[in-house]
């Protein structure tokens, strides 16, 4: 840990989705925000809501399904198929057998949901949604044991399963100096 001469401070978190994060900056409810939507981040800077954008971290996503694989997605060699091709195959399988095959979406306006919707839109489709579904890491072990990873995100900047997070420092915050220091640390 690096010690500095700055006085002690505390950080408060506002739990929100990506869309609300921009509103928090604009209304001065937050001095900085962590967001996942590059175009909206650039717009926040152009509109004067934010003055700084820094790369924070990378969320890597997985396309997972039951080991029985009712959709018939290729599990061996699936890495050679794009996520778009896999979503297209999944959509066709769901269309053919809507009783046994489902795609679960959080459908909650989160960064994950926005990115997922982009993939569906890119293939010209819309997913079935369940606002109560969970992420891979939070699923109970007995459920996860019945699942297989079909495709995993990489560090390639163009990988649609990579969801980069950025920290934005707002222009209207109450403690801009500290927000910049926080962005430096992140």
Q: 76: domain CATH number?
A: 3.40.190.10
DSSP string, 45-95: HHTTSEEEEEEEEEEEPEEEEETT-TT----TTGGGS-HHHHHHHHHHHHH
What's the domain range around 121? 62-152
Q: Phi then psi for 166, rounded to 5 degrees?
A: -125, 150
Whether 48 and 66 share a structural domain = no
Does residue 13 lie within any of the structural domains?
A: no
Instruction: Give how many domains the chain has, as a whole number.
Output: 2
Q: Render each residue's pLDDT in the chain as its tens digit; 186 residues.
A: 677 787 776 777 787 777 788 889 999 999 999 888 888 899 999 999 999 999 998 888 888 888 899 989 988 665 688 999 999 998 888 888 877 777 777 677 777 788 888 898 898 887 654 444 445 666 678 877 888 888 888 888 888 888 888 899 999 988 899 899 989 988
Same domain, 72 and 145: yes
pTM for this one?
A: 0.65
Q: Which of 83, 79, 67 is nearest to 148 (CA)?
A: 67
């Amino acid at each position: 840990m690096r010690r500095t001469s700055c006085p002690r401070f505390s950080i408060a978190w506002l739990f929100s989705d990506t869309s609300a994060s921009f509103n928090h900056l604009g209304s001065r409810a937050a001095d900085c925000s962590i967001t996942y939507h590059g175009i909206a981040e650039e717009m926040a800077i152009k509109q004067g809501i934010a003055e700084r954008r820094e790369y924070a971290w990378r969320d890597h996503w997985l396309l997972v399904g039951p080991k029985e694989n009712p959709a018939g997605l290729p599990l061996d060699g699936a890495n050679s198929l794009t996520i778009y091709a896999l979503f297209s195959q999944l959509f066709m399988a769901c269309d053919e057998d809507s009783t046994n095959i489902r795609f679960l979406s959080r459908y909650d306006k989160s960064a994950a949901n926005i990115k997922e919707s982009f993939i569906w839109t890119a293939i010209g489709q819309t997913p079935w949604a369940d606002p109560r579904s969970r992420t891979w890491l939070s699923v109970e072990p007995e459920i996860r044991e019945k699942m297989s990873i079909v495709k995993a995100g990489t560090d390639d900047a163009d990988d649609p399963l990579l969801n980069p997070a950025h920290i934005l420092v707002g222009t209207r915050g109450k403690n801009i100096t500290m927000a910049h220091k926080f962005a430096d640390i992140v």
